[in-house]
Structure formats: C-alpha cells, structure tokens
Amino acid sequence: MVRVLIADPHTVARLGYAAALAATPGLELVGQADRAGGARPLVVTVQPDVVLLDADLPDVDGLTFGESLRSARPNLGLVLVGPPSDDMLFRALEERFSAYLPRSASLDVMMSAVRHAAAAPTSFTAPDLAVALGRRRAVSSALSPREAQVLRHLYVGSNNASIADKMHLTESTVRTYLARVYDKLGVRSRAEALVAATQRGLL
C-alpha cells in the first residue's frame, strides 16, 4: 500500500485528491494539510511514501518545501502540482522532484504520477516533458552564441552600454542582437524576453 500525504491550500482540491485516492487500489491517504507548516510534522509522524503538494502553499512555496523534504528523506516521492509552465517543470526537475503536473491534469494522471513517485522517487516524469524539452531545444538552437550571451547579460541587469563594453561591441550591434533575440522569443521588451527565456529554461 502506497501511503500518500496531501499538502494543498485548496479545500476542493484536497477533497478531490482524497476521493481519487480512496477509489484507487493500492493508494492510501494518511494525512492532509493546507500549508507546509502543517504538513511538515505529519511527514514525521505518518511516514508517507509520497507527498502530493501544491506549488503555491501559503507559508512557503512548494518547490522550497519539497526541496527541504528531499534533503531530509532522499527516497520520499514528491509530486508537485502547479500552473502549466516550462519554467516550473524544469525547476521541479532540477530540485529532484518525482513528478510535475499542471493543475488541469486529470485525477487519473495524478494517481499515475503518485504510483510513479512511490516506485521511482528519484526518476522524474511530467505529462508535457517531451514537449517542453522540444521547446527548449528549439529556442536554444535558434539563438546564436552571441545572442545567447546578450541574453545572459540582460539577465544580470546590464544595460546596452555595459553589454557593448563587456562584449567589445558597439551599442548599435548590441541593439541588433537584442532585436534578433526579441524576434526569436516572440517578445517586445527586455522584461518579456527574460520571462520567456526563463519559462523555456534558457536561463
């Protein structure tokens, strides 16, 4: 029997998960909480095999909470549920979660992810993983090395003059590279470029 703990701030979501777990053979709900502060002691007392947690807990974000749980219990299954976002998906992968699911995922998909997390807690899965990887590769390969370098300078807050100085270019050339980056990312400003690049795992 796979023992599951739910950490989600939404009562309706917790009720849905509880009903799905009760209807799924081999899965058992052993505790639930609406925040990390309530879930943390439960992890110690009820010893779940898998924690199903939301990315937006009210006291600490789900990524940070999950990372702390993973440090304490390396073989704990961790399923993170959040918005449909390549950035969140890749961050969950980097933080060694077992799975990342969009909130729109069906309960069947969520229960499958829970089973996966119990069987292979350190092996990552996500419904849109292949598509997200494809998007990342497509944009990454589309950017030239110089364009990618300009993007990295943008990320640390450099202005055009500073970028030109660091890359030994004219400001006009920097503006040309920026225009190409914006075009390839489908954005119109620095802020939008940084958001798009982060969502696609380029930074």
Query: In the structure, what pLDDT confidence band is assigned to residue 22 with cuts at 50, 70 and 90?
Result: very high
Q: Based on the fold, state whether residues 137 and 82 are members of the same structural domain.
A: no
- Percent of the chain with pLDDT strictly greater than 90: 69
pLDDT score of 69: 95
Q: Looking at residue 17, which CATH number applies to its domain?
A: 3.40.50.2300
Q: Based on the fold, state whether residues 138 and 173 are members of the same structural domain.
A: yes
SS3 track for 98-166: CEEEECCCCHHHHHHHHHHHHHCCCCCECCCHHHHHHHHHHHHHHCCHHHHHHHHHHHCCCCHHHHHHH
SS3 40: helix
183/200 Cα distance (integer angstroms): 15
pLDDT score of 142: 74
Quote the mean pLDDT of the chain: 90
Q: Based on the fold, state whether residues 142 and 169 are members of the same structural domain.
A: yes
Cβ atoms 31, 42 nearer than 8 A? yes
Last residue of a domain, one of 93, 127, 161: 127
Q: What is the mean pLDDT of residues 16-39?
A: 96
Q: Based on the fold, state whether residues 70 and 123 are members of the same structural domain.
A: yes
Query: Is 90 exceeded by the pLDDT of residue 53?
Result: yes
Query: What are the distances in angstroms from CA 199 to CA 83, 100, 134, 171?
Result: 12, 15, 13, 27
112/99 Cα distance (integer angstroms): 10
Cβ atoms 35, 56 nearer than 8 A? no
Q: Based on the fold, state whether residues 100 and 30 are members of the same structural domain.
A: yes
pTM: 0.69
Using one digit for the tens of pLDDT, what is the confidence trace for 61-92? 999 999 999 999 999 999 999 998 887 888 89
Domain that holds residue 169: 132-199
pLDDT score of 168: 92
Q: Based on the fold, state whether residues 63 and 159 are members of the same structural domain.
A: no
Q: What is the mean pLDDT of residues 105-119?
A: 94
Q: Based on the fold, state whether residues 136 and 118 are members of the same structural domain.
A: no
Query: Is 90 exceeded by the pLDDT of residue 97?
Result: yes
Q: Based on the fold, state whether residues 63 and 155 are members of the same structural domain.
A: no
pLDDT score of 113: 95
* Total domains in the fold of the chain: 2
Q: Looking at residue 190, which CATH number applies to its domain?
A: 1.10.10.10
62/77 Cα distance (integer angstroms): 14
Using one digit for the tens of pLDDT, what is the confidence trace for 127-179? 887 777 776 666 666 788 899 899 999 999 999 999 999 999 999 999 999 99
pLDDT score of 139: 63
pLDDT score of 8: 97
pLDDT score of 140: 61
Query: Is 90 exceeded by the pLDDT of residue 32?
Result: yes
Q: Based on the fold, state whether residues 140 and 63 are members of the same structural domain.
A: no
Q: Based on the fold, state whether residues 138 and 74 are members of the same structural domain.
A: no
